[in-house]
Structure 1
Amino acid sequence: MTTTPHIAVLGAGYTGVATAKLLAKRTGATVTVINNRDRFVERMRNHQLASGQQVRHMPLRDLFKGTGIRLIIDQVMRIDADERQVALASGAEPVRYDLLVYALGSHADLDAVSGAAEHAHAVAVAEQAERLRDQMRTASTVAVVGAGPTGLETVTALAETYPDRSVRLVTSGGLGDTLSERGREHLHRALDRLGIQVLEHAKVTKIDTDGLLLEDGKHVTADAVAWTAGFTVPKLAHEAGLAVDDRGRMLVDGTLRSLSHPDVYGIGDAAAAHTQDGHVLRMGCGPGGLAAACAFHAITNRLAGRIPKPLRVTTDALCISLGERDGILQPTDLDGSPRGKVHTGRPVAMIKKAVLRATGWYNLRYPTLAVVAARQG
């Protein structure tokens, strides 16, 4: 590696921005960030965007101002892991690197069901959340597919914003399967209060212009469809010959370094980070932040000739907003099993708002806070 290494960071989501700024500040490395849009997207607020709320506009150049980071707005087309370079869609000169941080995140799997790509809106993508917002101005019925955290936050935001519309939640499993009994009871009451019709154990097989077709042959009418039922990751790591799991997530060790290419680190949803006891961190901003902090420590330690410590995470938690004044905070084990006391109601809504402010404002500008939050063994 060169005396002054060049670190390329692919992706400028929560983990990519924080890691790039930390590396630029704490190392002597030259840092380049490549992202396909010129603004930061607060993905955790996309359900608010879809329901018509105002979301902050944050240009990446403002976030990186004064850091010395080189920002390239372009689409990554290919990673040449042997030559250590990244090809861009614009045809510009490939970006060479000494170390690569792969932080491309995840996106909605709209290929999972026939018609989803043509007729559904993926709330995970800001532009599609905006299109759902526009469609909601005239839609009389809306169906949200998927009852994970994103689906629950989306359906409750829409129902609260549009109390005069028919709002339906369709899930292939049971409602609140990952919650404790008390958590499930609160969730059912919250959806009932908002007038949301819930269809449990209903597998969607097709989406068309006027709604959903279920596996049992039932048709669910909907003028607008929000898709939150599944997520996938970019294929770039697999295509580059990097070790990946059966979902395409980069396989990394306890320091977030690729199992097959030691000059590559994977953080966030696009990497399968394992804890010391073998659990894989779930996709999500919280686990992604811990992984990013661990990767930062690992890179800086190795550059300084020190042996880095592996990621250590022992517990997790789901913090789900259910509209502006309600929510559920469910502590869990790393396998997703509920544990401890579940918290509900307005206090959780306030906690979630504080989390959104921290991740969407303070941590982006002062990412050292994320490092403090990381637990190292």
Structure 2
Amino acid sequence: MTKTPRIAVLGAGYTGLTIANLLARRTAADVTLVNDRPDFVERMRNHQVAAGRTVRRRPLRDLVSGTGVRLVVDRVTRLDPAARHVELAGAAEPLGYDLLVYALGSHADLDAVPGAAEHACAVAGVEQAQRLRDRLRTAGTVAVVGAGPTGLETAAELAETHPGHTVRLISGGTLGRELTEPGRDHLRRVLDRLGVQVWENTAVAKVDAGGVLLEDGRHLSAEAVAWTAGFTVPALAGQAGLAVDEHGRMLVDATLRSASHPEVYGIGDAAAARTRDGHVLRMGCGPGSLAGACAFHAITARMAGRDPQPLRVKDDTLCIGLGAWDGILQSTGLDGVPHGKPLTGRPVALIKRAVLRVTGRYNPRHPGIGVIAARQG
């Protein structure tokens, strides 16, 4: 590395923004943060945006002010790991680096089913969530495709915020399969109370202007379709020759360093982070934050000539908000199998609010708390 190392962080989501601020504050490196939009997006609030709730705009320049981070608002078009360059859509010259942190996240897989890209709104993207919000001003029926945590939160939020609308939730498998039986029972009671119509073990074959066509030939009418069924990652890592898995996620070791390029680290949804025991962390803000903290410790340890500690995570937790005053907190293994009795109801809603406040408001300006909480080894 050069005397003053140059670190480029790609992506200013929860993990990218946090690690950029930490590296700028706690190392002597020149840190450049690249993001394709000028504002920080609280992705975990997108279902609230879709329901019409106001989410405060947070300019990235305010969140990196005083940290030493150089912010570049531009779109990454190509990586050149041999030359250690990042090419940007709006820049004549590439951005050079000595160390790269790849945190470009994920987006909804709208190409998985014909018609989804044309007729559905993906809750994963804030612009799409706003588009869904606008459609709901005139739509009386909305179909939510996908019943994972995002789909459950979206269906509950829409039903609670728009009690006069018909909300149809379509699950490709058993409803609440991420939960133990008490959690599934609570989920069904909440959705029934909110008036959400549920289709289980039902696959969508096509989305059209009038709703969704199911694989069994039935057509469910809907004036708006919210898409939460599956995510995909940018193809940039694979296109650049970095080692990726079958889903395009960067392959990294237990310190979040690329399996093929040691000067590159991958964190968040775009990387397949493995613990020392070989488990791959799921996509999500919680696992991504743990991986980001581990990567920060690994980078600073190697800069200081020390051996870094590997990622150590024993279990996982799902915190699913079901409207303003209900929810489910479920412990799971890293294999996704739920265990134990979940916490439900108003206490979970309060926990969810605290999580959103910390990740969206406190951590971007004060990232050290997340590193302390997720300290490895």
TM-score bucket (shorter structure): over 0.9
Q: Tell me how far 1:92 sits from its aligned partner.
A: 2.6
Partner of 1:261: 261
- Paired with 2:263 and 2:228, the residues of 1 have a C-alpha distance of 34
Letter in 1 for 2:85: Q
TM-score calculated relative to the size of structure 2: 0.99
Question: Equivalent residue for 1:146?
Answer: 146
Q: Aligned-pair RMSD on alpha carbons?
A: 0.6
Report the counterpart of residue 22 of structure 1 in structure 2. 22
Shift of 1:248: 0.3
Cross-structure match for 1:214: 214
Report if the CA contact (8 A) 1:78-1:236 is conserved: yes
1:67 Cα shift?
A: 1.1
- Does the alignment pair 1:190 with 2:190? yes
1:88 aligned partner, one-letter code? L
Q: What SS class does the counterpart of residue 46 from structure 1 fall into?
A: helix
Q: How many residues align?
A: 377
Q: Which structure 2 residue ranges, 5 or more long, are not aligned? A: none
Name the residue aligned to 1:52: 52
- Find the aligned partners of 2:365 and 2:293 in 1 and give their Cα distance: 15
| 1:102-136, Cα deviation, whole Å (9 max, x unpaired) | 00000000000000000000000000000100100
Say if 2:274 and 2:280, in contact at 8 Å, map to a contact too: yes
Secondary structure, counterpart of 1:198 in structure 2: strand
2:240 is equivalent to residue 240 of structure 1: yes
Does the 8 A contact of 2:183 with 2:341 survive in 1? no
* Matched residue type, 1:14: Y
Residue identity opposite 1:16 in structure 2: G
1:281 aligns with 2:301: no
Correspondence for 1:320: 320
- The SS at the match of 2:104 is coil
1:349 aligns with 2:337: no
Does residue 271 in structure 1 map to residue 310 in structure 2? no
Alpha-carbon distance in 2 for matches of 1:156, 1:180: 19
Alignment of structure 1 residues 113-152 onto 2, 5 Å: 113-152=113-152
Match of residue 36 from structure 1? 36
Equivalent-residue separation in structure 2 for 1:92 and 1:201 (angstroms):
51
- 2:365 & 2:339 partners in 1: Cα distance? 33
Indicate if the aligned counterparts of 2:256 and 2:294 stay in contact, CA closer than 8 A.
Answer: yes
Where 1:12 maps in the other structure, the secondary structure is: coil
Counterpart code for 1:28 = A
Report the Cα distance in structure 2 between the residues aligned to 1:309 and 1:191, rounded to whole angstroms. Answer: 43
**Matches of 1:286 and 1:373 in 2, distance apart?**
11
8 A contact 2:331–2:340 mirrored in 1 = yes
For the 8 Å contact 1:86–1:96, the answer to whether it is kept is yes
Deviation at 1:341, TM superposition (A): 2.1
For residue 339 of structure 1, report the CA deviation from its aligned partner: 1.4
Amino acid in structure 1 at the alignment position of 2:270:
A
Q: Which secondary structure state, in structure 2, belongs to the residue aligned with residue 151 of structure 1?
A: helix
- The answer to whether the 8 Å contact 1:313/1:375 transfers is no
Q: Which runs of 5+ in 1 are unaligned?
A: none
Q: Residues 341, 375 of structure 1: CA spacing in aligned structure 2 closer, same or farther, 3 A cutoff?
A: farther
1:364 counterpart SS class: coil
In the alignment, what sits opposite 1:108?
A: 108
Q: Quick check: 2:149–2:320 contact (8 Å CA) kept in 1?
A: yes
The one-letter amino acid of 2:3's match is T
User: Is the CA contact 1:250–1:272 (under 8 Å) kept in the aligned structure 2?
Assistant: yes
Identity of aligned residues (%): 69
Partner of 1:86: 86
Secondary structure of residue in 1 paired with 2:310: coil
Aligned residue for 2:64? 64
Q: Which is worse superposed, 268-277 or 87-96?
A: 87-96
Find the counterpart in structure 1 of residue 249 from structure 2.
Answer: 249
Distance in 1 separating the partners of 2:312 and 2:177? 26
For the residue of structure 1 that corresponds to 2:364, the secondary structure is helix
Q: Helix, strand or coil for the counterpart of 1:40?
A: coil
Secondary structure of 2:229's counterpart equals coil
| Contact residue 242 and residue 261 of structure 1 kept, 8 A | yes
Answer yes or no: is the 8 Å Cα contact 1:311–1:375 preserved in 2: no
Q: Distance in 2 between matches of 1:190 and 1:299?
A: 45
- CA distance in 1 between partners of 2:207 and 2:322 (Å): 26
Which residue type is aligned with residue 314 of structure 1?
A: K
> Given residue 57 of structure 1, which amino acid in structure 2 is its aligned partner?
R
Counterpart residue identity of residue 26, structure 1: R
Distance 2:310 2:104 in 1: 22
